[in-house]
Amino acid sequence: MRQVLPSLRQIAAGALTAEAAVRACLERIGELEPAVLAWQFLDPEAAIAQARALDRGPSRGVLHGVPVGVKDVIETVDMPTTYGSPLYAGHRPANDAVCVAIARAKGGVMLGKTVSTEFAFTSPGKTRNPHASGHTPGGSSSGSAAAVAAGMVPVAFGTQTAGSIIRPASFCGIVGYKPSFGLIERHGVKTLATSFDTVGVLARDVADAAFFVAAVADRPALAEVAPLSRMRVGLYRTPVWDLAEPATVAALDQAVAALGRSGAVVVDVAPAAADHLALHEAVMDWDVLHAFSYERLFRLDRLTETTRQQIAVLESRVSLAAYEAACAGMAEARAALPALFGDCDVLLTPAAPGEAPAGLASTGDAVFNRGWTMLHVPCVTVPAGVGPGGLPVGVQVVGRIGDDGRTLAAAAALEGALAD
């Protein structure tokens, strides 16, 4: 289903002109967008003009000519940023978000804005799963995941506060990379929960994801993904393993078998004692309610019904005592991470309960993502199987805080082993 374009590294090196890359993306969008509905805003003429300007001059940097999708909670000076909400229809920020500014400065072409759930929260947008239009693409990075999976763009910004990169990547059959918390600067991104909001990427493969994040995070070493030798992987079935559907169990079994054939050692890892999901929920509830202060106190009637209902739920259950206790529990859980990993390079765990569920009223369950987001660790989705409905199923590679290079290398090794 994906278009055939060179890797991001090859595009930037001049394997084709910036205009040719942009036109290839726009052609694919013209073909599939009526069914997928991945884009919130597109201006083809402006995108081509950006590309032509790049082609007329010397290389701008490591992303020269690379077309990029930008999730609509990330601010852009030359395109509307609605944050997925009717309240902000037509809103024009005064500046680019830092991550967008860096991508532009290094030669990236901001192709358009991809659909997000409202404020990257729970109210779904219009996007369909490109593999089956009656199924969700996941969220909140719905448009970014669907656009990459459909071959409309080779790479797109996403954000994750619970499971908004890892889960849609699994549902759409692509790579999703949520870096360690704070690796990519988030100034200019609509705040959902300040304790967890993380900027990341949806891409066709691990190498493209690593190359792009290396550029926008100013961490060039991340781009040099070399599969680990004699890797030790911990199979982590999580305390909510009973929520893993047969398709996810089979995908993990396939990943373990592939790793074994490649020479990696896979061992079982005992689940953590702390209730990571409860800790994440209590802190996120508090953060979200405060991040929405303006919208809920002064513009509540302009929000979608789903968001209004969810705000009412938060108002009924949030307490300072629960928040403070959860903050203390989070600190303890992060301190326990070395013991959880033991002598493993990375952990292997579900990316989502199963394949994308039918219907568009929900973006799916983040139950296998929220704890890792709370822990601030890097996570990578690798496609690893197919569910009973013929839709993709991914697995999740998790690393230690700040150990993004090793995490990407392990994900690349798994990707290669599965391909073999």
Q: Which of the residues are catalytic? A: 71, 140, 164
> Maximum Cα–Cα distance for the chain, whole Å?
59
- Would you state the structure tokens that stand for residue 200, as one six-digit string? 């990341």
DSSP reduced 3-state for 209: helix
Question: Is residue 12 within 8 Å of residue 103, measured between CB atoms?
Answer: no
Angle, helix 206-216 to helix 98-105, in steps of 10 degrees? 100
Question: Which residues does 150 contact at the CB level (< 8 Å), separation at least 6?
Answer: 1, 2, 28, 32, 36, 38, 130
Query: What's the helix, strand, coil split of the chain in %, to 5?
Result: 45, 15, 40
Distance in angstroms between the alpha carbons of the first and the last residue of the chain: 20
What are the Cα distances from residue 51, in Å, to 46, 65, 108, 236?
Answer: 9, 6, 9, 45
- Would you state the structure tokens that stand for residue 85, as one six-digit string? 């909400």
Could you give the CA distance from residue 409 to residue 209 in angstroms, rounded to a whole number?
A: 11
239: Cα within 13 Å, side-chain hemisphere = 11
DSSP secondary structure letters along 53-93: HHHHSS--STTTT-EEEEETTB--SSS---TT-GGGTT---
Could you give the CA distance from residue 105 to residue 96 in angstroms, rounded to a whole number?
A: 11
Cβ count within 10 A of residue 55 = 15
- Would you state the structure tokens that stand for residue 185, as one six-digit string? 């600067």
Q: Is the bond preceding residue 144 a cis peptide, omega within 30 degrees?
A: no
- Least Cα distance to 2 among 131, 128, 176, 127 occurs for 131
Could you give the CA distance from residue 38 to residue 114 in angstroms, rounded to a whole number?
A: 6
